[in-house]
């Protein structure tokens, strides 16, 4: 099946070269789309050179930093227009290990509409995470699962594989969330479409180079939106 790995970047000059090389070493048949938000550190220029050297690498230059959700939605649109069968979300910083990608692809190719690379199922783990970060992630997933009845252990997982039919069944234009919340929202939208969501274990590794994009605003957005969605779901008089 024709597979596209979407890697959003913003100031990932130290990472974009080795992560694309590692992905293609592990899975030589996939293609990569680097969706760069006009990184001031030259990430986009580096990606262009990588694309010139390898036809499996493509670059989508975006006008500026609009957030993770907007980058992925642009990447999905790019891939759907070009008839990819499986579209994968993957971080540029190495936190999503290329050696775990095969598990997600096997699941997607077997017909699962959405497969999450999960830290919190048996066999999943995190490496070099402070306890407060782990508590935040576990707590956010638990809250989303209870409020939205998602039925998954790792609702905020950012390493995931969609079949094209899944993305076509979702109203992507209505998904305005970013960060943690974008991932929760996409899981929610998949469930609302009546589609299966599966989890496979992965090892999440804290980034070595560059700075995390996590912020208090991202956490606040997730808490607010999940609370509103949950209350609407539980309100029998909602329209």
pLDDT in tens, 157-174: 999 999 999 999 998 988
pLDDT at residue 183, as a whole number: 93
Q: How much is the CA Rg of the chain, to the nearest whole Å?
A: 17
CATH for 3-234?
Answer: 3.90.550.10
As a whole-number percent, the residues of the chain with pLDDT over 90 amount to 70
**Are 4 and 79 spatial neighbours (Cβ–Cβ below 8 Å)?**
yes
State whether the Cα torsion 147-149-150-151 is positive or negative: positive
Chain-centroid distance of CA 70 in Å reads 11
pLDDT given for residue 129 in this prediction: 85
Query: Does position 6 have pLDDT exceeding 80, yes or no?
Result: yes
How distant, in Å, are the alpha carbons of 10, 24, 123, 188, 218 from that of 40?
8, 26, 38, 34, 22
Task: Compute the average pLDDT of residues 7-17.
Answer: 96
Which of 58-67, 106-115, 202-211 is predicted least confidently? 202-211
* Strand positions, DSSP E, the chain: 3-9, 31-36, 57-61, 86-89, 114-118, 125-127, 160-163, 197-201, 203-205
pTM, two decimal places = 0.90
Domain residue spans in the chain?
3-234
């Amino acid at each position: 099946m024709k597979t596209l790995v979407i890697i959003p970047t913003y100031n990932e000059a130290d990472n974009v070269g080795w992560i694309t090389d590692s992905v293609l070493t592990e899975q030589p048949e996939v293609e990569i789309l680097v969706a760069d938000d006009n990184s001031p550190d030259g990430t986009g220029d580096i990606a262009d050179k990588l694309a010139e050297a390898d036809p499996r690498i493509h670059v989508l230059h975006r006008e500026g930093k609009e957030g993770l959700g907007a980058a992925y939605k642009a990447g999905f649109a790019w891939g759907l227009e070009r008839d990819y069968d499986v579209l994968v979300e993957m971080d540029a910083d190495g936190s999503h290990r290329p050696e775990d990608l095969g598990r997600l692809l096997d699941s997607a190719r077997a017909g699962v509409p959405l497969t999450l690379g999960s830290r919190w199922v048996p066999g999943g783990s995190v490496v070099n995470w402070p306890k407060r970060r782990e508590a935040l992630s576990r707590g956010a997933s638990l809250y989303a699962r209870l409020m939205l009845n998602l039925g998954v252990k790792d609702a905020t997982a950012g390493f995931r594989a969609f079949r094209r039919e899944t993305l076509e069944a979702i109203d992507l234009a209505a998904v305005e969330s970013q960060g943690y919340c974008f991932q929760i929202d996409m899981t929610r939208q998949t469930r609302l479409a009546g589609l299966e969501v599966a989890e496979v274990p992965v090892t999440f590794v804290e980034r070595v180079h560059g700075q995390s994009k996590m912020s208090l605003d991202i956490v606040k957005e997730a808490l607010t939106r999940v609370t509103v969605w949950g209350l609407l779901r539980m309100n029998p008089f909602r329209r």
